Amino acid sequence: MSEGRVAATPAGVRLCPLDSLEDGAARNFVLQMRAGRFHGFVVRDGHHLSGFVDRCPHAGLPLAQKLDDYLTPDGRFIACSWHGALFDKQDGRCVGGPCVGQSLGAWPVALVEDWVVTA
Say which amino acid occupies 98.
Answer: P
CA dist., res. 90 & res. 13, Å (int)? 21
State the 10-residue block means of pLDDT for the chain, 119 residues long: 76 97 97 94 95 94 96 97 96 96 97 96
1 burial type by CB count under 10 A (0-12 exposed, 13-18 middle, 19+ buried): exposed
Give backbone dihedrals phi and psi of 6, rounded to 5 degrees, phi first.
-110, 160
Candidates 112, 111, 97; CA nearest to 48 is: 111
Would you say 110 and 49 are in contact if contact means Cβ atoms under 8 Å apart?
yes
The Cβ-side half-sphere exposure at 72, using a 13 Å CA radius, reads 15
Q: Dihedral, CA atoms, 63, 68, 71, 74, nearest 10 degrees?
A: -150
Structural domains in the chain plus CATH codes? 16-114 (2.102.10.10)
Provide the pLDDT for residue 1: 40
